[in-house]
Amino acid sequence: MSTLEQVLVTGSLGWLGIRLVKALIEGFPEVEFLSKPSKNLNIRCLVLPGQDFSSLKDLSNNIEVMVGDLRNPQDCDRFCENAENAILFHTAGIIHPQRVQEFYQINVEGTKNLLNAAISSKIKRAIIVSSNSPCGCNPHPDHLFDETSPYHPYMNYGRSKMFMELAVKNYQQQGKIETVIIRPPWFYGPHQPQRQTLFFKMIRDGKGPIVGDGTNLRSMAYVDNLCQGLLLAAMTEKANGETYWIADERPYSMNEIIDTIEQLLEQEFQQSCVHKRLKLPGLASEVALVIDGSLQTLGFYHQKIHVLSEMNKTIACSVVKAQRELGYHPTISLEEGMRRSLKWIFKNYGGLD
């Protein structure tokens, strides 16, 4: 297993990116062989124009921040220059755009721009963050996706990530660059966006959404578990050319997810919960699916309608391949991960309101 000396990170101010940068600087106390960071590690971070990157600069003197946009090939060239034999972590992407075309401009063409620049600069390996969406939803409630599961993309986001994966595999198969594709499901943890905080608030206020009976399973990935998978993918020689699902060890039902958050809010964060659920029939998701599809056909995207369309679906995966080939060991499960998420919110924002 190799060590890291120079690392490039896209999306470094995002939910996952900022945690990965911190992990590179501080190490992982829960994982023995990752507990200490590499000495003299240099990290180059890409941020979008207009973003405040002071939080990155405060982490370490070994962090170099560059401003650019993946849609601009020249920005990608600048980001990758003088990075021969470095490791590239590509965490950037768009999940909830205003227009459908942004999925393809950023997730597909932006990734191609980045990899072309990485190849020109002789970067050794690119770790590409994909999604569960290229495989869509499980065909039946007891099914788990694995790395042999066929593509069945969910809407335009899933298609954009599928096209991205196919492009990445093509670069690797041509011998242009080493690549590893990481597929995380719904992830959670500190530095979460506002939509996740709203989800917690809805649960406290008795509006936690349950569509159908709530027994449908969802794989989730605590950000530290996901970062562990990313680092192992970078450091394991035989991972080149492979795809891995990275998530918590087991999937959770929607009922378990909401019950766990509610219990933590009351027992550890002194929040008075209403103990109700916003229960909707499974048909609500199916209607949302039709509306979502119609809107996206017209080129528009509506985040709440899209999320509702998935709420009654089973989206669950197996991490057996990552455990076997990478030595992946997800140390944080749902309760502890949600506890850390809530601690971060209360520390940084004083609460959910």
Whether the predicted pLDDT of 70 surpasses 70: yes
Say what the pLDDT of residue 34 is. 75
Least confident of 26-40, 90-104, 210-224: 26-40
Domains in the chain with CATH codes: 6-192+219-251+315-331 (3.40.50.720)
Instruction: Tell me the two tokens of residue 272.
Output: 């008075």
pLDDT at 2: 61
Please report which confidence band the pLDDT of residue 4 belongs to, taking 50, 70 and 90 as the band edges.
confident
Q: Quote the pLDDT of residue 5.
A: 86
Q: What is the mean pLDDT of the chain?
A: 94
Task: Taking residues 120-149, report their average pLDDT.
Answer: 97
Are the CB atoms for 159 and 296 separated by under 8 Å? no
Q: What is the pLDDT of residue 139?
A: 95
pLDDT, tens only, 196-212: 899 999 999 999 999 99
CB 234 within 8 A of CB 195: no
Between residues 37 and 220, the one the model is more confident about: 220
- pLDDT tens per residue, range 249-272: 999 999 999 999 999 999 999 999
Residue in 114, 341, 330, 119 with CA at minimum distance from that of residue 232: 330
pLDDT for 73-130, tens place per residue? 999 999 999 999 999 999 999 999 999 999 999 999 999 999 999 999 999 999 999 9
What CA–CA distances, in Å, run from 121 to 6, 60, 62, 161, 237?
Answer: 13, 25, 20, 24, 20
Predicted local distance difference test score (pLDDT) of residue 276: 95
pLDDT in tens, 304-344: 999 999 999 999 999 999 999 999 999 999 999 999 999 99
